[in-house]
Amino acid sequence: MFNYLKEPILYQQSKDAIWLDPHISKQLLAAHLDGNNEGASRNPQFIQQSVDWICQLFPAAKYPKIIDLGCGPGLYAEPLTRLGYQITGIDFSAESIQYARQQALNKQLAITYIKEDYLNQELPDGSYDIALLIYCDLGVFSSKDRQRVFQKVFASLRANGVFIFDVFTAQHYRDHQDSKTWQIEQNSFWSQTKCLRLQQNKHFPEASTFLERHYLIYPDYVKEFFIWDTIFEPQQLIAELHSCGFSEVAYYGDVTGTKYQEISETICLVAKK
């Protein structure tokens, strides 16, 4: 039996995962593909600006092989492939990978898609020129797992390879307030069948981390989802990247190369091996 009153410990994993839930994973794929909704992916114009910026900094002629971590339905992989890059995408959502593979087949794009959790997937050493981790996925990890990601990516890159990723800043959560709410769900994002959804939003200030906690209560069972998100400042990540072996780190306001400012809601880091 679940205990909604018991506070989870920092980075505790929930019993269920939204990306693997049969109903919610379909809703998340739809959100990825909805160009007017940035809940799962950024809008198509921003994505194209990101692709153009990456191509300008690291052209395919010099940086041909890309590993796209958390690739989703291939929204970055497809335009990058058209610009001459060789893309491998990894995502553990079966819905997203199935869609991405079908799209690549339909459009005759030579993209390799792997259905796996990139935190646990072995990446071949020294194989890639660029590693991407876009739309602030890094924030879901504990500090220990974040180091695992950095080390794994570093090992997978060739000499002079680059790691491009983004994270949220405190500005993104400037209006956050701890809260607890409930509502009935039916034919919604969360559930097709009728259930009671309990939600808690909580800030863990000692770790600069936020938790969005959901319980879906049905007559015979309960689903539990924890969504963690850590925020960062540039110098913290620069120090962590250096400790993992990266030699040079630049940072920007987002993944289109805008200048970072105190009001920026994201930080994009470009770390060179």
What are the pLDDT digits (tens) for 195-230? 999 999 999 999 999 999 999 999 999 999 999 999
Q: Is the pLDDT of residue 117 over 90?
A: yes
pLDDT of residue 59 exceeding 60, the answer is: yes
Query: So what's the pLDDT on residue 2?
Result: 62
pLDDT at 62: 98
Segment 183-189 long-range contacts (CB within 8 Å, at least 24 positions apart): 185/216, 189/24, 189/27
Q: Domain 26-169+232-272 in CATH: superfamily?
A: Vaccinia Virus protein VP39 (3.40.50.150)
**Length of the chain as a residue count:** 273
For residue 256, give the amino acid letter. T
Q: What is the pLDDT of residue 3?
A: 67
pTM value is 0.96
Which residue type, as a one-letter code, is found at position 102?
Answer: Q
Please state the domain extents for the chain.
26-169+232-272, 172-229
Least confident of 19-23, 35-39, 233-237: 35-39
At the top level of CATH, which class does the domain 172-229 belong to?
mainly beta
Q: Please check the confidence at residue 1 and state whether its pLDDT lies above 70.
A: no
Per-chain mean pLDDT for the chain: 96
Q: What is the pLDDT of residue 83?
A: 97
Name which of 40-44, 49-53, 111-115, 259-263 the model is least confident about.
40-44
Sequence-distant (6+) residues with CB within 8 A of 1 are 222
Q: How far apart (Å, rounded) are the C-alpha atoms in residues 139 and 67? A: 19
- Where does residue 213 rank: exposed (0-12), middle (13-18), buried (19+ CB within 10 A)? buried
Whether 172-229 and 26-169+232-272 are alike in CATH topology: the answer is no
pLDDT > 90? residue 34: yes
